[in-house]
Amino acid sequence: MKTIHLIKPDFLNLKMDSPLVLASGILGLTASSMARVIRFGAGAVTSKSFNLEWRKGHRNPSIIPFEHGLLNAVGLSNPGVDEMVKEIRLFRQKSEAPIFASIFGRTIEEFAEVAKRAAEARPHLIEVNVSCPNVRSEFGTPFGDSPQDTAQITRLVKKAAGDIPVSVKLGPHGPGIGLMARVCEENGADAITAINTAGPGMLIDIRVRKPVLSNKTGGISGPAILPIAVKSVYEVYENVRIPIIATGGVTHWQDAVQMLLAGATLIGVGTAVYYEGMEVFGKINKGIEGYMRENGFSALKELRGLAHE
């Protein structure tokens, strides 16, 4: 991927050639996989969310397409912190692009512990997933629905992470994403990732007469949720000054530009890989660059939040 000067973001002093970040849970299990995503034009990658011990997650079907997006209830399957620390280290050897370590915990304390262990691998950012909707039956309401829990997790992770910056990943529902972002900022977060999957939703097969996902319900991603994500980013931008990793439904470059205008500094891309292939990163980069040239912008930050004026 040739470096395109125009679209270099200004995010926490990290060196990136594109504002696009591979979203957590997509192709983020191994160093090899994430390094390949960089070769296709992503500016940074986010690992699959991991916690202390490995987890099998939910049985299949755990990821199913419907006409307008994907439903997934992977159930936070992951190989555990030991394995992921190795993969993050390996990635850092393979690639100069930043890697964000996505972490979660079953308890508030586990978040801090995982953050501490993850920090050993020196990721460029720790992303704190407080908003997975797919482990409700196991863990209860996501921590991200509670301002108190989120505040505490942010504080503890921030401390455990040392000098590594921390982004908190919020869901679109719950008690107002603007409020939650403020809580994170006040408790030391360096960035906000918005959003996780929406819904959740369910699809029932009318022949078999059963929910298709083994977990019955699953989070919704992809084109269907773009308006929810744009609205969330717009709202977060109005509430905090820390940068936003805008994620949710971005499939075409026009969607990415909407996110920038709503207030994004970086843009997460996940499900679009299904719709547009690995080439999606290069295509969106090119589209943003074309838009900037056509409209006389010379840096990404000139676009940021323009829709608020």
Ligand X SMILES: Cc1cc2nc3c(=O)[nH]c(=O)nc-3n(C[C@H](O)[C@H](O)[C@H](O)COP(=O)(O)O)c2cc1C
Which residues bind to another protein, rule: CB under 8 A?
Answer: 25-30, 32-37, 39, 48, 54-57, 59-65, 70, 74, 77-80, 83, 203, 205, 207-208, 210, 212, 214, 270-271, 273-274, 277-278
Query: DSSP letter at 23?
Result: P
Closest separation in Å from C-beta 5 to ligand X:
26
Q: Which does 81 bind (CB under 5 to 8 A by kind): another protein, ligand X, a copy of itself, none?
A: none
According to DSSP, the residues that pair with 169 across neighbouring strands are 129, 193
72 binds ligand X (CB under 6 A): yes
* 184 is a catalytic site residue: no
No. of H helices and E strands in the chain?
10, 14
Check if the beta carbon of residue 47 is closer than 8 Å to that of residue 99: yes
Per-residue contact track with ligand X, 168 to 207, x per CB under 6 A? -x--------------------------xx----------
228: contact with ligand X by CB under 6 A = no
The CA distance from 283 to 269, in Å, is 12
CB-wise, 250 or 300, nearer to ligand X? Answer: 250
* SS3 label, residue 268: strand
Cα 119 to Cα 234: distance, rounded to the nearest angstrom: 31
Q: In the 8-state DSSP scheme, what is residue 264? A: -
Helix H or strand E segment including 212 = none
Determine which one of 22, 132, 156, 259 is catalytic. Answer: 132
221 is an interface residue for ligand X by CB under 6 A: yes
Which residues are designated catalytic? 132
